Structure 1
Amino acid sequence: MNIYVRKEQLLMSIDEKRKQMVEAAQVEGYTGEKTIKYSQELDNLMNEYQHLLFHEKQSAPSFHDLVSQMSLLSVNRPSY
């Protein structure tokens, strides 16, 4: 699955889980069973999202790498 698609899915899930948690807290209070369950599920979703962001950043080429690649392109270009 595409990382961008997964990130969007996670953001939607995070928003929905947050709404469920807030609703449960309004009914049962902050220490209610459902509130705690939704809070833990929300934590897991947010951790997964942060994990994706971290790995996305680690795999992205640095600015220095991009500049180096661009300079190689200009050197290898044939002159007319």
Structure 2
Amino acid sequence: MLEPGRYESSIRPGYALNSEDPVTDVIQIQLYVTSVLEINQQLLSMTIQGYFRTWWHDWRLEFNSTDMGAGAAHNVL
């Protein structure tokens, strides 16, 4: 499955070394602040409480039902 001579663990999946147009990943982030706990004007810092979310589309996990063949029965979990 993985050819040891071709696999480079320091490069993310889908990144083409020899391609002028590599696959780009779009990563979305969201910060929702629920409260401001402290503002320190002397240190120019603040302490907040909230949620930090990230999400993205991983094309490697896509499922295409047409790859199963026309009219093939699919088991749904």
Structure scoring higher RCO (CA < 8 A, sep ≥ 6) equals 1
Question: Taking structure 2 as the reference length, what is the TM-score of the superposition?
Answer: 0.25
More helix by share: 1
Question: Taking structure 1 as the reference length, what is the TM-score of the superposition?
Answer: 0.25
More strand by share: 2
